[in-house]
Homo-oligomer: A and B are copies of this chain.
Amino acid sequence: MNRPLFEDVLRDNGLDGFVGTTAESVTWLSGYWAMPQWIRRGPQAYAFQPREAGGESFVVTGTGLLDHAADQDLYVRAFHRYGFFAYEDFAEGGGPEAVRLRKMLRGPEHESPAHALAQALRQAGMRGGRVGIELDGLASGVFERVRELAPEVELIRSDALSKKFRAIKTPEEVARLRESGRIAERSILAALEGLREGESEADLALRFHGRTVADGAFPVLGCIGFSERGALPNVDPSPHRKLKRGDTIRFDVGGRYRHYRADIARIASFGEPSDRARKSHHAVQAGIERAYEIIRPGLPASTLFKEIMDTVRKSGLPHYRRNHVGHGIGLDGYEVPALTENSTDVLQPGMVMCIETPYYELGFGGFQVEDMVTVTEAGVESLMTLPRDLMLR
Contacts and interface: CB of A to CB of B under 8 A. Distances in A.
A95 interface: yes
B232 A323 contact: no
A363 interface: yes
Nearest to A332: B40
A67 B233 contact: yes
Interface centre among A23, A70, A232 (most CB of B within 10 A): A232
Interface stretch (A243-251, A343-351, A354-362, A377-385): A354-362
A71 B236 contact: yes
A260 to B, nearest CB: 14
A70 B101 contact: no
A88 B362 contact: yes
Contacts of A278: none
Interface stretch (A168-176, A206-214, A368-376): A206-214
B218 A214 contact: no
A360 B206 contact: no
A129 interface: no
A11 to B, nearest CB: 24
A91 B206 contact: no
A161 to B, nearest CB: 13
Interface in A86-113: 86-95, 97-98, 101-102
A306 interface: no
A152 interface: no
A52 interface: no
Given A86-B323, A219-B219, A235-B67, A94 B206 contact: no
B210 A94 contact: no
A388 B321 CA distance: 58
Given A94-B231, A101-B232, 14 more contacts: A35-B221, A35-B236, A39-B220, A72-B236, A87-B233, A88-B359, A93-B363, A95-B229, A97-B228, A98-B231, A98-B363, A202-B216, A206-B216, A210-B213
Interface of A: 22-23, 33-36, 39-42, 64-65, 67-68, 70-72, 83-95, 97-98, 101-102, 135-136, 140, 157, 159, 202, 206, 209-210, 212-214, 216, 218-221, 223, 228-229, 231-236, 238, 241, 319-323, 332-334, 359-364
24 contacts: A33-B236, A35-B223, A35-B234, A35-B236, A40-B332, A40-B334, A41-B136, A67-B232, A67-B233, A71-B232, A71-B235, A72-B236, A86-B321, A86-B323, A86-B360, A87-B361, A87-B362, A88-B361, A91-B362, A97-B228, A206-B214, A210-B213, A213-B213, A213-B219
